[in-house]
Structure 1
Amino acid sequence: MEYAAAKSSICRQCGRSFSPFAPKPGLKLRTKEEAPAPESPSFLGRFEDFWKRQRSAIIECFECKRKQQVSGAATSTICPACSTHIDLRDYKITSGFSRSIRTRGDVHLTSKGDLASSSIVCRSALIEGRLRGNLHCDDTATINFSGKIPGRISARHVIVERKAHIHCFRRIRAGSIEIKGTMSGEILAQTIVTVHKKGSLEGDVTARAITVEKGGMFSGQLVIGQVSITQGELLEDQEPAVISIPESHFPETARRPLPAT
């Protein structure tokens, strides 16, 4: 029997030194579990990454409007003319979000998202959740949401999906609009408004052309012609000027003599 604190001892038969607490041969010690090695990406994933790196895009500066070519894998860049920072990231909103967004990437508002930003500027947008701010898209804005939209929407092309049922409080400005679901609000289109089969549009429309397919419905005032901005949209409300007329313009009344007493 050996001392409990002993680190080594000598065998009484052969005289060799050994450690009394050394593990027995064949006994496996319990070690910490190592994290599994990351799986190597699939061939399709590697091909998508390679294609994204090889692809390039032409973007425009937010301030000076100068265009430049950037790599598809870039997340940001700087304008060579005015040194303005340009965000190129894509945003996916899955919960409440209230910060302003200004990017040349895409914005995806999921069904559980709540976008309360005062200003959203992006390349294209997919709206499936609640939108309470102003949205501007350089390309396409796709709306697949049922509810009220209090903010302004402007885009090159707007698509209202078949399951969408929206009510817009402010005017929608777009190059062209496709209505596949149900929409109520005022539309200002540069080219054409198309109401597809089973689509419904209620509100005033100003456009160069409108197409209502068989099975579609349109109700409201229609103005066909060149889209122009009214004077009320250019000038702010001003108080009417009050014209003051000097007293000298009024003829003085003749003085009457006082009665004799």
Structure 2
Amino acid sequence: MEYAAAKSSMCRQCGRSFTPFAPKPILKLRTTEEAPAPETSSSIFGKLEDFWKRQTSSVVECFECKRKQQVSGAATSTICPSCSTHIDLRDYKITSGFSRSIRTRGNVHLSGKGDLASSSVECQSALIEGRLRGNLHCDTATINYSGKIPGRISARHIIVDRKADVHCFRRVHAEHIEIKGRMSGEIIAQSVTVHRKGSLEGDVAARSISVEKGGMFSGQLAIGQIGFAQGELLGKEKPTALRSTESSFQDAVARPLPAT
């Protein structure tokens, strides 16, 4: 019996070549002239996204020497031309328990079912929707989570979303914090903004604080020199600055101070 799609064959008795019978009508074979099946919408969107990434570029900073370079948006990693350090550019999405260290110039998304217990997570931006028990350091951190955060957060810009209701056990370091939801804990920052319907409760040490109409702040407040240079992350501040901040909290009146 010959293969159904065979176009020629050879007789086993006389050795002559011949054309076998045509396949049955019920068997439909796709030839080269036929158009392939249309691709699904997800694959089309994926190709468009890949094409867009190839057309765009971004500037990344080396982890070690802080040199900046321009890379393609489709790149997943690069090498620093100055110190040859490997720079990861991939995005990470945490959907379950995760405890390994992450060091990337991409984004990290901690989903609602995720549990991030890494000792060190460094990324460009982070979206926190699940439980954070590790140490997070990034440029921009968006918190959209309700519950307790036992981990440590340090970032240039922190946004507490409107639906968030978080209690931070450890001190939060940032250059600027925007509070649109509810937050409680100890904050050290350059500036703090409590938006309308936002609520902040705890100890705050900052150079400036702004509470919009409809927002609320209660706790101890220390305004003035924090002890770090402009543009420098608070995670690198000197121990003397921390001692001066703690003494400011001890000298403050130990009663809630509602903002007006």
TM-score, scaled relative to structure 2: 0.72
- Are 1:231 and 2:240 an aligned pair? yes
Structure with the bigger RCO (C-alpha within 8 Å, sep 6+) is: 2
Provide the C-alpha distance between the structure 2 equivalents of 1:49 and 1:156, rounded to a whole number of angstroms: 29
Provide the C-alpha distance between the structure 2 equivalents of 1:37 and 1:100, rounded to a whole number of angstroms: 43
Q: Tell me what 2:165 maps to.
A: 165
Q: What is the RMSD of the two structures over their aligned residues, measured on CA atoms?
A: 2.7
Do 2:99 and 2:116's aligned partners in 1 also have CA atoms closer than 8 Å? yes
Q: Tell me what 1:214 maps to.
A: 213
Q: Which amino acid in the other structure matches residue 197 of structure 1? A: R
- Are 1:118 and 2:127 an aligned pair? no
Provide the C-alpha distance between the structure 1 equivalents of 2:128 and 2:110, rounded to a whole number of angstroms: 5
Mark the structure with the bigger radius of gyration: 1
In structure 2, runs of 5+ residues without a counterpart are: 1-19, 30-35, 228-237, 244-260
Residue 123 of structure 1 aligns to a residue in which SS? strand
In structure 1, runs of 5+ residues without a counterpart are: 1-21, 235-261
Residue 208 of structure 1 aligns to a residue in which SS? strand
Residues 120 and 25 (structure 1), Cα distance of their counterparts in 2 relative to 1, 3 Å cut: closer
Identity between Structure 1 and Structure 2 (%): 76
Q: Which amino acid in the other structure matches residue 203 of structure 1? A: G
TM-score, scaled relative to structure 1: 0.72
- Are 1:204 and 2:203 an aligned pair? yes
Residues 231 and 25 (structure 1), Cα distance of their counterparts in 2 relative to 1, 3 Å cut: closer
Q: Name the one with the larger helix percent.
A: 2
Q: Which runs of 4+ in 1 moved over 3 A?
A: 22-31, 40-48
Describe the superposition over 1:122-181 as per-residue Cα deviations: whole angstroms up to 9, x where unpaired: 00000000111010112x100001111112111111001111111111111111101111
Q: Tell me what 2:186 maps to.
A: 186
Provide the C-alpha distance between the structure 2 equivalents of 1:58 and 1:26, rounded to a whole number of angstroms: 61
Q: Tell me what 1:146 maps to.
A: 146
- TM-superposed deviation, 1:193: 0.5
Aligned residues: 208
Provide the C-alpha distance between the structure 2 equivalents of 1:167 and 1:43, rounded to a whole number of angstroms: 42
